[in-house]
């Protein structure tokens, strides 16, 4: 599409809406891959400033309070670029890039950040920004650098958070680390979470455990900590190489490492 035709599309859209621009397309749902056999669902793209359709490059560009909606999924941001496959007649959306005050809502999940890169062909999106967050019905993940959400396996969705990452479960349990890798079920239930560097867990009753790394298994409510472990419960402190924390009954066990170094504790009656 040449410049004059692109400008004409913008003008016609503005006349149709009165204020801003919009266009209605058909494509696979955000939560599906571009090769899904599911019937196409209409997708609406809106913007206050301009909407550009480049048929040569296969892009839709929305600027100014941009908004994309399809089924139960929608993205709002300052600037949105949607890429589609130019081959064929369906114009399947393959990639969405949103920048500036991004909010992505899919069903009961809400993601927020400065930038969203969503690859629909691999069911994976990367959220970046110092206040990146993904909130579901069972918990919230936050980070200061990035959050990658991979739903290739719908029953084992992988969420990787980098930069002062924090996961807060709906039951009040908290896990911290410079890097967190969580596996979550389709209903948002946490299955496991691994934390690396500057890790910390806080139980619902306030017990705090820190370590070099940890692994939490939701089905057993057990957290296994490794490396420079310290557990604090009010005025009580225990230290050792390894530890096990049971979140259900608040039982903490300190273990010695391979060298047999003694564990220590300061207990207040």
pLDDT in tens, 22-35: 555 444 455 544 44
Which residue shows structure tokens 């397309």?
A: 25
Task: Tell me the pTM.
Answer: 0.81
CA quadruple 93, 99, 105, 106: dihedral, nearest 10: 30
d(C-alpha 214, C-alpha 229), whole Å: 10
Q: How far is CA 261 from the centre of its chain?
A: 40
Residue 3 is classified by DSSP as H
Mean per-residue pLDDT for 60-72?
90
Q: Give whole-number Cα distances, 71 to 9, 10, 31, 68, in Å.
A: 25, 24, 10, 10
Beta bridge partners of 194: 181, 215
| pLDDT at residue 53 in the model | 86
Confidence of residue 40 (pLDDT cuts 50, 70, 90): low
Question: What confidence tier does 268 reach under pLDDT thresholds 50, 70, 90?
Answer: low
Mean pLDDT in the chain? 81
Tokens of 62: 């929305």
**pLDDT for 12 beyond 80:** no
Distance CA 21, CA 64 (A): 10
């Amino acid at each position: 599409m040449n410049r004059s035709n692109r400008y004409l599309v913008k003008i016609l859209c503005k006349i149709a809406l009165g204020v801003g621009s919009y266009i209605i397309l058909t494509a696979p749902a955000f939560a599906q891959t571009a090769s899904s056999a599911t019937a196409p669902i209409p997708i609406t793209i809106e913007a206050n400033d301009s909407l550009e359709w480049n048929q040569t490059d296969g892009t839709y560009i929305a600027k100014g309070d941009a908004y994309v909606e399809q089924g139960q999924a929608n993205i709002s941001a300052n600037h949105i670029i949607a890429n589609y496959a130019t081959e064929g007649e369906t114009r399947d959306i393959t990639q969405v890039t949103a920048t500036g005050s991004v909010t992505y809502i899919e069903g009961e999940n809400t993601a927020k950040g400065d930038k969203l890169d969503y690859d629909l062909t691999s069911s994976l999106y990367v959220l970046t920004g110092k206040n990146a967050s993904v909130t579901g019905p069972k918990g919230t993940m936050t980070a200061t650098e990035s959050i990658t959400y991979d739903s290739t396996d719908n029953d084992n969705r992988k969420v990787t958070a980098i930069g002062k990452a924090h996961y807060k479960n709906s039951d009040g349990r908290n896990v911290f680390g410079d890097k967190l890798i969580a596996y979550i079920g389709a209903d948002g239930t946490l299955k496991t979470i691994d934390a690396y560097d500057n890790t910390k867990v806080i139980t619902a009753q306030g017990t705090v455990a820190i370590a070099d790394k940890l692994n939490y298994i939701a089905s057993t409510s057990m957290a296994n900590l490794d490396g420079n472990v310290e557990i604090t419960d009010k005025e009580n402190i225990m230290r050792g190489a390894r530890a096990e924390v049971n979140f259900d009954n608040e039982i903490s066990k300190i273990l010695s490492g391979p060298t047999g170094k003694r564990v220590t504790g300061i207990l207040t009656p």
